[in-house]
Structure 1
Amino acid sequence: MNNSAAQSQTDTPLETSPAPRATRPALWKGWRCRCPRCGEGKALHSYLKVNDTCSHCDLELSKAQADDGPAYLTILIVGHLMAPLLHIVYFTWQPAPMVTFSVFSIGCLVSSLYLLPRMKGIVIAYQWARGMHGFDRDD
């Protein structure tokens, strides 16, 4: 490599990327179904619908593309909690099959309904923190 080529490479300014966003605080705000940037405005309304913008900081939340991610995460968590619990309960106390079915069906339903909006908030917050799907780093 000649000297002039080496000189021109060192003279070009390096592009500076915006400071990375903190992921953990954003995920905590998402768990609370709040705006990932300010944590004050609500990210969701009517259970699972994403607000167009944050009512507090005007972050455009309509860019989020959660798709099937929250449902997948919810099933993953509920399954990993309920399967070992079912095994322990069944072999320890041996309840009647109808009692087992009723209790675990209600448990799965309640825990899924509790987790689903929180998982959606987490997916939206993760997308914002990583600058994905239109959540630019400079907003």
Structure 2
Amino acid sequence: MDEHDKVDWAWVFKSGWKGLCPRCGTGHMFKSWLKISDRCEVCGLDYRFASPDDGPAFFSLTFVAFPLLFFIVWLQVAHEVPVPLLVAIAIPLMSLGCLLPLRPIKGWLVASQFVNRSLEAGTGKLWADMHAREDEKQEGKPKR
């Protein structure tokens, strides 16, 4: 791994964690909790390239929910916690544990897509045509 790759990955994690624009590092990536902005208010980066889809939920479940589930099961087996107390511990722990990392993970995925210029193979022209039609609708006049 060369120095360029290290800088890119550090930048991906920093901008994703803080929800900052992956290009300028100043603008906001999100307009609400998990809703990505249309454009960066500082540099104008168009976020239509971003499609993290179910990635944040997958990573949250994989790296947070499964370990927490194992902890809850261990707690029950090792200490024989009464079921109502176990439920009172497990539900908030699992809810917060799975919901809180969603935004940083989504930011990380969007920043990663930007840094790596991620695009599904063979869809470059399709995306360009689709975005051109969207831009025409917004402006109210066709581009020729």
CA distance in 1, matches of 2:96, 2:58: 16
- Which string of whole-angstrom CA distances, capped at 9 and with x for unpartnered residues, describes residues 81-110 of structure 1? 303322442234321111112211111111
Residue identity over aligned pairs, in percent, reads 25
- Comparing both structures, which one devotes a greater share of its residues to helix? 2
Q: How many residues align?
A: 116
Give the number of the structure with larger relative contact order, counting CA–CA contacts within 8 Å between residues 6 or more apart.
1
Structure 1: tracts of 5 or more residues without a match = 1-18, 135-139
Q: Give the alignment's TM-score, normalised by structure 2.
A: 0.71
Offset of 1:52 from its aligned partner? 1.1
Pairing 1:80–2:66 present? yes
CA contact (8 A) 1:29 1:35 kept: yes
Q: Give the alignment's TM-score, normalised by structure 1.
A: 0.73
Structure 2: tracts of 5 or more residues without a match = 125-144
CA distance in 1, matches of 2:20, 2:67: 25
CA contact (8 A) 1:26 1:37 kept: no
CA distance in 1, matches of 2:97, 2:26: 25
Q: Let me know the Cα RMSD of the aligned residues.
A: 2.0
Find 1:28's aligned residue among 2, 6, 14: 14
1:62-77 to 2 correspondences below 5 Å: 62-77=48-63
